[in-house]
Amino acid sequence: MLFNVSSLLQEGIGATRSHEVDAVVSVPGREPERVSGTVELMMTKTGVLVRAHLRLVEPEACSRCLKPLEELVPLDFEEEFQATVDPGTGAALPPPVDGDAFVIDASHVLDLSEAVRQYREVSLLMQPLCRADCKGLCPQCGKDLNLGDCACESGPASSPWAKLAALKGVVPEAKE
């Protein structure tokens, strides 16, 4: 998601541009994702303030039954992108104080892809569900319990400490 902001950088502080976004964002190692919404760009003293109101369709898998699903992720953020080159003279500007700050490249192109990626990561559900009452998979045979019960014995799950508890009477107690 690239925006050429050269003309905006030459206007006064407070100048704005609004853009409707309907794009595909590609992140290495992931499937391309569709992003839509609005982006407002406003000139500041040191760069461009981005106000983004986006929606992202994220392909996921249900955390209980592993069925594929699509999660609608709202992304609302404000970030200031720092200019690296003076638009009037072309001279390099000092680097931002914050080494992790978002920057506008030397060609006056603002790339929102990394900001969208970061905000997507913190906005995703940790355990997405296909539906609130998803029963998940049987821990014994792996059958999808949403489709019906399985034939496994349903008893209390064995404790991981059961074998140690059985040794309690066998091993003599240590004396102090």
Which pair of tokens denotes residue 115?
A: 């900001």
Residue in the structure block whose two tokens are 């107690």: 173
In DSSP notation, the chain reads: -EEE-HHHHTS-TT-EEEEEEEEEE--TTS--EEEEEEEEEEE-SSEEEEEEEEEEEEEEE-TTT--EEEEEEEEEEEEEEEESB-TTT-PBPPPPSSTT--EE-TTSEEE-HHHHHHHHHHHS-SS--SSTT---B-TTT--BTTS---SS---PPPPTTHHHHHTTTTSPPPP-
Position 95, amino acid: P
User: Residue 39: what pLDDT?
Assistant: 97
User: Residue 20: what pLDDT?
Assistant: 95
Pairing of strands 16-25, 2-4: unpaired
Give the burial class of 37: count Cβ atoms within 10 A of its Cβ; 0-12 exposed, 13-18 middle, 19 or more buried.
Answer: middle
Q: Note whether 132 and 24 are within 8 A (CB).
A: no
Cα(44)–Cα(29) distance, integer angstroms: 34
Which portions of the chain are predicted below pLDDT 70?
Answer: 154-158, 169-176
User: Residue 171: what pLDDT?
Assistant: 57
User: Residue 3: what pLDDT?
Assistant: 93
For residue 162, report the phi and psi dihedrals to the nearest 5 degrees. -60, -45
User: Residue 154: what pLDDT?
Assistant: 63
Q: Note whether 43 and 14 are within 8 A (CB).
A: yes
User: Residue 54: what pLDDT?
Assistant: 96
In 3D, which of 48, 61, 56 has the Cα closest to residue 109? 48
The pTM of this model reads: 0.73
Cα(71)–Cα(74) distance, integer angstroms: 10
